Amino acid sequence: MKTPQPCDDLHFEELSVHFLVSALYNPKMIDSKGSYKHLDNTYAVKTLVEKGCDVNLLLNCLSFARVLPEYFPALDIAELKKIAKDLNTMRKALKRIMPSVELPFLIDNDEGTYDMKLEPVSADFHMSRYFRSELWRKERACTHFAELCSRGKIPHRDDIRQLAYLWPALYVKEATGKYNYALVAELLTDADFGSKNAAQLSKSMSKVTARYAAAIWWMLPALHRWTDTAFVLGADLDEFDEND
């Protein structure tokens, strides 16, 4: 089997964006809809609606921003190293105790003849090349992720929290043409996101848009999707329970 090549830093930084996109489109996001409806009569909301915002999109953006960090995986360096070690141990143990080869078998076909097909002789004990490759890749990924986390290359939940509270400002810019930081700061204060002022939001926006431009591109489509979705299509398609 050809040895899989390890991924470079750029590939893993792209995967961190994929983690964020997965969080944005987590089906559980829809559960938070409507949690800020009580703010619909506040000065900030009424003024932003007058400027062009849709009240449902604006308030749901607050709801989704509140829960977004929860759905971004907590990447713990020690745990990543342990997973890599466990995968290495499992991969070597499976290879040792489940030797298997593929042999040719004749299979009946619809034409009344036979087709020759390679089948493993050990059935469920067979370790395919794909499975071995995937175990190796996951082991390498966890090792590399741990290294990149220690070097500050992968965002933490605190970084995602900073990005999340800027989500309403991104929507306000889409709806009104301006960030309206002062009104967004008041909106965030009303929603108990902490005390922010316009200057802080502007500075954070410059920093975040420079670092997470690829991720930010997905945030507004996610907002529109969850606001317009009454139920989650395909939410029951997971083959295994997350606790398995």
Same-domain check for residues 140 and 180: no
Same-domain check for residues 27 and 129: no
Which tokens hold the place of 86? Answer: 């466990």
Q: Concatenated DSSP letters for 4-66? A: PPPP-HHHHHHHHHHHHHHHHT-GGGGGGTTTTGGGTTSHHHHHHHHTT--HHHHHHHHHHHH
Same-domain check for residues 181 and 212: yes
Same-domain check for residues 146 and 191: no
Position 9 scores a pLDDT of: 55
Q: With respect to residue 233, please indicate whether it lies within any of the assigned structural domains.
A: no
Same-domain check for residues 133 and 149: yes
Position 237 scores a pLDDT of: 36
Same-domain check for residues 28 and 50: yes
Q: Cα–Cα distance between 190 and 222 in angstroms, integer?
A: 23
Q: With respect to residue 166, please indicate whether it lies within any of the assigned structural domains.
A: yes
Which residues form the domain of 146?
Answer: 76-153
The total number of structural domains that make up the chain:
2
Last residue of a domain, one of 93, 121, 153: 153
Q: Cα–Cα distance between 55 and 190 in angstroms, integer?
A: 15
Position 6 scores a pLDDT of: 46
Same-domain check for residues 142 and 180: no
Q: With respect to residue 238, please indicate whether it lies within any of the assigned structural domains.
A: no
Q: Is 48 exposed, middle or buried (0-12, 13-18, 19+ CB in 10 A)?
A: buried
Residue 228 has, within 13 A of its CA and on its CB side, a CA count of 7
Among the listed residues 132, 17, 145, 143, the one whose alpha carbon sits nearest the alpha carbon of residue 75: 145
Position 240 scores a pLDDT of: 37
Same-domain check for residues 37 and 144: no
Distances (CA, A) of 98 to 92, 121, 143, 241: 10, 11, 25, 27
Alpha helices in the chain (DSSP H): 9-24, 43-50, 55-67, 77-97, 129-150, 157-164, 167-176, 181-190, 198-211, 213-228
Contact by Cβ (8 Å): 165, 188: yes
- Taking 70 as the pLDDT cut, the residues of the chain under it are 1-13, 15-16, 122-123, 229-244
Same-domain check for residues 70 and 169: yes
Q: Cα–Cα distance between 151 and 16 in angstroms, integer?
A: 14
Instruction: Judge if pTM exceeds 0.75.
Output: no
Contact by Cβ (8 Å): 149, 142: no
Same-domain check for residues 97 and 114: yes
Position 1 scores a pLDDT of: 42
Among the listed residues 233, 192, 79, 100, the one whose alpha carbon sits nearest the alpha carbon of residue 142: 79
Same-domain check for residues 30 and 89: no
Same-domain check for residues 82 and 147: yes
